[in-house]
Structure 1
Amino acid sequence: MMMRKARSKPMDLSHRITPRLLPFEDQAVKTYGKMFVSWIGPTPRVNIMDPEIIREILSNKFGHFAKIRANPLVGLLAKGLVNYDGEKWVKHRRIINPAFHQEKLKMMLPAFYACCSELVEKWEKLVSLEPCEVDVWPYLQNLTADVISRTAFGSSYEEGRRIFELQMEQAKFVIEAARSIYIPGFRFVPTRKNRRMNEIYREVCSLLKVMIEKREKAMKLGEARTDDLLGILMESNYKEIKEGGNAKNLGLSIDEVMEECKLFYFAGQETTSTLLVWTMIVLSMHPEWQVKAREEVHQVFGREKPDFEGLNHLKVVTMILNEVLRLYPPGLMLTRVTYKEMELGNVRLPPQVELAMPILLVHHDRELWGEDAEEFNPERFSEGISKATKNQVSFFPFGWGPRICIGQAFALTEAKMALAMILQNFSFELSPTYTHAPFTIVTLQPQYGAQLILHKL
């Protein structure tokens, strides 16, 4: 009810977004303090905003804090690494890690560049004669879908696009399911929605299976490419199985590889598109920072193609991206659950208590970030994240600890490439038709689009 009321109308053009996005938690913190207990149906949930306790939970040295079991329907979207615990998580992380090494990331830069060039060309056609209003949000969604299609599946780009479309449709169903009370067994009732979700699941699996089997054949013939995520993952998996000899449970099955591919797709596309759209909106609200970022891009690259070394030297752009991630994190909350009685801070908790770490509230907390916590001030990151956070866990847009997002460097490199190329070619400002209304589907998005006026430079 509070959520519906908070989101029923747009907000003013500011970064004070917590009452709109987490109205219950925002109000409860003001009334009861930062650590309070609420109930999610029959389950108690403790709100945690102390950086030291967040560190303890997310470092999870002794495996005391498990991921919360999701509604089984969520598994139709993607299982994969993010949903595993214990030995299974360790094995999957070990096999997937090579795909995200810096050297492999460099190999993916041409794909990033090709996709960004296509976006620039599309926008140039729209604004070739005069400045033009463009809703940049769908373009940025398509950009990041194209990037993940090419970097995950290489030449199987068209098949990749079909998977993306199906996964986007599935995401909407999954979020509806996650927000409703789960009735055991209800997912087997042949309702229209359940039937469609299962159809999507089967089609995505069959598309991925064909791609994976093609790669397996090519690998046996020594013809497989290893410069995309699927190739690197399968090469790493093959190596693990080969080195393990006849040991049981080594490597990933085809079904497990399939689930990791679905997760690449979903996580890789969602986080980067939301980071880019909020960066463009915020730089339209704060044109002085747009000018600073463009000056830096011109200083590092001129009109030339951005390269890996140069992207790593973009200090102002990195400060801006970090500040956007602070104010508009892709995910609003992390949750864990206790599996036995334990002490956390100075509180003793029984088993099966949910622990909620509201990223958004921590990122906007004045006690941690100062009186300007809800203002856009990239300068706070001028000496890096550790200095800005005073070495506390008060900035964790990609999670923290051993389970920090494996694709963080991938997402940030892609965002830097896209932003550098946009700044080289366009200036942009908010259109009078833009309505400021952040809301969540899976990630934090602009509810009514991102209408900007683009000017060709």
Structure 2
Amino acid sequence: MVLSMAAIVVSFMVVIIWKNMWLKPQRIRSVLQNQGIKGPKPSFLLGNLSEIKRIQSQFSNLSSSSQAEEWFHSLLPFLQHWRKQYGATFMYSTGHRQNLYVGDPKLLKELNRTRTLDLGRSTYVTNTLKPLLGGGIFRVNGSHWSFQRNLIAPQFFLSKIKNMVDFMEESTREIIRKWERIIEQSGGKTAEIVIDNEMKELTADIISKACFGGSYSLGNQIFAKITALENLLAKPSVQFGFLYLRILPTKENKEIWRLAKEIEELILKVLHRHKLQNHMSKYQNQNHTKDLLQVILENTVNDDDGSRSAWGRIWKKLMKRKSETQKMIVDNCKSIYFAGSDSTALLLTWVLIQLSLHPQWQDRLRAEIFETFPDISSHDVLDIDKLRKMKQLSMVVQESLRLYGPAIITSREALEEVKVGDMVVPKGTNILVFLTAIHRDTEIWGEDADEFKPERFEGGVSEACKYPQAYLPFGLGTRICAGQNFALIQADIALVLLLANFSFSISPNYRHSPFYRLVLFPQYGAPLLVTKL
């Protein structure tokens, strides 16, 4: 009897494995093949992972100090290899997961125009990042994503960002004073400063003030732990491992769990402070500028009189328990930190590296800065409307995002069968767009696609390339980055103030080796020679 039951269980498990690991993937591949999509032949269980590993091992980042753009060919080389072999759109497998690579600009345009909620975040990617992002806006799909976006996105409208300019400027001036001390201690007018670390410090300070206001010192602790967690999740053993291994109590997993718990505890501490502050403000009839956490809190949590915003009433239906609402707030704080700090720090780092390599553009920007803000040495808050009219600055930032955008990949999963243009995408298909490859495609950008030429954006994106829809530094479709205005204004303010006070040149210790680990960063850091003007 026991043996019979065991045989039934084993047979049942075999059927489940066969269905999920072979039959479903084959059905997806068959639908795509019938539409003319080709790709490498997968093996059972591993898919094309062995081939990916083999191709990857043939390439490595350049270790020389050369500024050549050859590093790009070692960035996800298997995608570039298959693109040459199978065309701009092809399919491949990672284990049982079926991936559709989209590099055709016309199909990208259709993908950008697709508004269905059935095209969501990749389940595998979001599960990998669950300890970091929880159930925040970057992980959830469907109605949960829609409601979270409608709650958070308005806080990043330009009208709201104008209220944040003062502390963006304040944080940047603190960095300026720090650099002045470093240069003074060096005994000259120039000192080597590792820019990427400094930009992380700057953006962490700004996002802490934006999110947590008066509790931003706790915010800096949260940022440090999120950075440590991000580094753990970026390891190949986590990125390409099997999801079920995440439940095993390995040393790596224990560290991930510990950091995730500590981050949640710190955010809850800030959350409780904000609840107390809200009650005190009402009692004392005080008005003060609200930070992001307060806005989210007020829109999701009942006040004393039982009132609730419209979105709060919707959340009440979605979130059955108070703990679920609290968890949503915590997870979105983590999401805003991850996206709002890391990406902007890298944007600033790559812009300053490019300006160091191309001093003529540094001079052009500085001239525009002093023309726009002749009294910039004073401590008046920068006028955001004037800032947005700085054409040269905008061109430089756009070109840097094209060549060295922090996000190099964006992906979507067909949660149900969807139609993208004339193509039918089966349920369960992961759609992948390699942004760096699109942004360097000579058929789209011309033969000088690998060159830093901000002047290509003089007439805007529509005149910069053959297919404007191929410029995607902040993602595509309905899930385009909600905080892009916040990131760009933050970067503009920092660049204006830094260039007004310092000049930058490449240090002999700089090694040009962009490296991908969740985001694109300088593998060996970004030491630059900073000279006080």
**How far off its partner does 1:51 sit?**
2.3
TM-score normalised by structure 2 residue count: 0.81
Q: Is the 8 A contact 2:299 2:311 kept in 1?
A: no
Once residues 526 and 84 of structure 2 are traced to their aligned partners in structure 1, the CA distance between those partners, rounded to angstroms, is 31
Deviations 1:340-379 (A, max 9, x none): 4555455554332221111111100111111111111111
Once residues 68 and 97 of structure 2 are traced to their aligned partners in structure 1, the CA distance between those partners, rounded to angstroms, is 35
Q: Is the 8 A contact 2:83 2:90 kept in 1?
A: yes
Q: What's the secondary structure of 1:126's corresponding residue?
A: helix
Q: What's the secondary structure of 1:134's corresponding residue?
A: strand
1:30 aligned onto 2:84: yes
1:35–1:249 Cα change, 3 Å:
same
Once residues 48 and 313 of structure 1 are traced to their aligned partners in structure 2, the CA distance between those partners, rounded to angstroms, is 34
Q: How does 1:24-423 map to 2 (within 5 A)?
A: 24-70=78-124, 72-79=127-134, 80-128=136-184, 129-176=188-235, 178-184=238-244, 186-221=245-280, 222=282, 225-237=288-300, 241-243=308-310, 248-249=316-317, 253-304=325-376, 305=380, 306-341=382-417, 344=420, 347-389=423-465, 392-423=468-499
Once residues 439 and 15 of structure 1 are traced to their aligned partners in structure 2, the CA distance between those partners, rounded to angstroms, is 13
What percent identity do the matched residue pairs reach? Answer: 31
Deviates more, 1:223-232 or 1:123-132: 223-232
Q: Is the 8 A contact 2:102 2:432 kept in 1?
A: yes
Q: What's the secondary structure of 1:433's corresponding residue?
A: coil
Greater relative contact order structure (CA < 8 Å, 6+ sep) = 1
Q: What's the secondary structure of 1:187's corresponding residue?
A: helix
Q: What's the secondary structure of 1:428's corresponding residue?
A: strand
Deviations 1:187-240 (A, max 9, x none): 332222222211111111111112112212332342574432112222333599
Q: Which segments of 5 or more consecutive residues in structure 2 lack a partner in the other structure?
A: 1-52
Q: Is the 8 A contact 1:98 1:232 kept in 2?
A: no
Q: Is the 8 A contact 1:77 1:170 kept in 2?
A: yes
**How far off its partner does 1:86 sit?**
1.3
1:245–1:279 Cα change, 3 Å:
closer
Deviations 1:6-25 (A, max 9, x none): 33533631345421212111
Once residues 339 and 238 of structure 1 are traced to their aligned partners in structure 2, the CA distance between those partners, rounded to angstroms, is 30
**How far off its partner does 1:77 sit?**
0.6
Deviations 1:280-334 (A, max 9, x none): 1111111111111111111111241533122112110110000000001111111
1:440 aligned onto 2:500: no
The residue identity in structure 1 corresponding to 2:215 is: S
Q: Is the 8 A contact 2:62 2:71 kept in 1?
A: no
**How far off its partner does 1:269 sit?**
0.7
**How far off its partner does 1:242 sit?**
3.7
The residue identity in structure 1 corresponding to 2:463 is: K
The residue identity in structure 1 corresponding to 2:457 is: F
1:170–1:41 Cα change, 3 Å:
same
**How far off its partner does 1:389 sit?**
4.2
1:231–1:344 Cα change, 3 Å:
closer
1:232–1:347 Cα change, 3 Å:
closer
Find the counterpart in structure 2 of residue 454 from structure 1.
Answer: 530
Q: Hey, which bits of structure 1, 4+ residues long, moved more than 6 A?
A: 244-247
Q: Is the 8 A contact 1:226 1:235 kept in 2?
A: no
Once residues 309 and 116 of structure 2 are traced to their aligned partners in structure 1, the CA distance between those partners, rounded to angstroms, is 31
Deviations 1:151-176 (A, max 9, x none): 11111111001101110110011122
Once residues 427 and 313 of structure 2 are traced to their aligned partners in structure 1, the CA distance between those partners, rounded to angstroms, is 39
Q: What's the secondary structure of 2:411's corresponding residue?
A: strand
1:73–1:139 Cα change, 3 Å:
same
Q: Is the 8 A contact 1:16 1:374 kept in 2?
A: no
Q: Is the 8 A contact 1:359 1:397 kept in 2?
A: yes
Q: Is the 8 A contact 1:98 1:233 kept in 2?
A: no
1:323–1:22 Cα change, 3 Å:
same
Once residues 310 and 474 of structure 2 are traced to their aligned partners in structure 1, the CA distance between those partners, rounded to angstroms, is 32
Find the counterpart in structure 2 of residue 6 from structure 1.
Answer: 59
The residue identity in structure 2 corresponding to 1:307 is: D
Q: Is the 8 A contact 1:49 1:357 kept in 2?
A: yes
The residue identity in structure 2 corresponding to 1:76 is: P
Once residues 241 and 341 of structure 1 are traced to their aligned partners in structure 2, the CA distance between those partners, rounded to angstroms, is 37
Q: Which segments of 5 or more consecutive residues in structure 1 lack a partner in the other structure?
A: none
**How far off its partner does 1:388 sit?**
2.3
